[in-house]
Amino acid sequence: MKTILPILSIILLFSCATDESTSKSVAINSPTKKVLVKNPIGNTIETRFSVPAGYERVEVGQNSFGQYLRDLPLKPEGSEVLHFDGSTKTNRGVYAAVVDMDLDQLNLQQCADAVMRLRGEYLFKEKRIGEIKFNYLSDGKPRYFKEFAKGNESYSNFRKYMIQIFSYANTASLRAELKQRPFMKMEIGDTFIQKGRPYGHAVIVVDMAINRSTGEKIYMLAQSYMPAQDTQILLNPMNKQLSPWYELKSAPFSTPEWSFNPEDLRHF
């Protein structure tokens, strides 16, 4: 039997920031900012958020991870991010929309966990069962859903598997598992991830667009945080006119609750 670290020690030592007041950039505590480019009645990322003039969404393959993320369902306009226990996220000015995905009543699905959940849900939806695996922090080795399932590959059993993954994997293990991507070659589904000392954070690229005349690209980010909470589409605190889109420029940048470097970009 493999040796694994206790759940609590992993969460405390290597997960996201300890609370919503601990971050590497200034958190925005005001009500959600008005987002310039959006359609309030849209119920997915693609239908809720339009692109700025001169831009068009990058092409993605049918049934690809990129298309899955772009099609993520969103809660109605004005919905608040809720924690696992039903309480409301304090920093209401962090997000432009809330992903409509159920949340276990456990303080487990935090930042890196939300990224793994999205990847796992996509692979399960596409019936790519044999590809569903994530590495444990304790030994760096993958745990496959197929082995966990023991023939029961139902969705309910998949969710039990993901809870186990959330308990024994985190930003440090996921960063080590993912491959580095050159920043300017970003693709939808890539993840910015820091393992931190002691805390790390992860956000995932959920959409991209390009200006065909200039070649300039923009991208959109989603995150969960600590305590475990709904996945949310992030505002851009550096450019409120472009928000929630971010400009693809090879330089350090800030999200409402964290700062990242270009070399933090990874992919599955």
Span 89-96, mean pLDDT?
Answer: 94
Question: Does 174 fall in a domain?
Answer: no
Q: What is the pLDDT of residues 46-68, one digit of tens each?
A: 999 999 999 999 999 999 999 99
Question: Does 187 fall in a domain?
Answer: yes
Q: State residue 235's pLDDT score.
A: 97
Question: Does 132 fall in a domain?
Answer: no
Reported as type and span, the H/E element at residue 234 is: strand 232-234
Question: Does 113 fall in a domain?
Answer: no
Q: State residue 28's pLDDT score.
A: 39
In the predicted model, is pLDDT for residue 105 greater than 50? yes
Q: What is the pLDDT of residues 12-31, one digit of tens each?
A: 345 676 444 344 443 333 34
Question: Does 2 fall in a domain?
Answer: no
Average model confidence (pLDDT) across the chain: 90
- Number of domains the chain contains: 1
Q: Which of 35-49, 104-118, 205-219 has the lowest mean pLDDT?
A: 35-49
Q: Which of 21-35, 124-138, 160-174 has the lowest mean pLDDT?
A: 21-35
Question: Does 29 fall in a domain?
Answer: yes
- Domain hosting 222: range is 7-103+179-267
Q: State residue 17's pLDDT score.
A: 62
Q: State residue 1's pLDDT score.
A: 36
Span 205-218, mean pLDDT?
Answer: 97
Question: Does 133 fall in a domain?
Answer: no
Q: Please give the Cα distance from 204 to 114 (Å, whole number).
A: 9
What does pTM read for this prediction?
0.90
CA distances from 116 to 29, 48, 180, 223, 265 (A): 28, 24, 17, 11, 15
In the predicted model, is pLDDT for residue 7 greater than 90? no
Question: Does 64 fall in a domain?
Answer: yes
Q: What is the pLDDT of residues 132-143, one digit of tens each?
A: 999 999 999 999
Question: Encoding tokens for residue 219?
Answer: 């991208």
Q: State residue 2's pLDDT score.
A: 38
CA distances from 211 to 49, 52, 113, 148 (A): 16, 9, 33, 45
| Greatest Cα-to-Cα distance within the chain, rounded to the nearest angstrom | 57
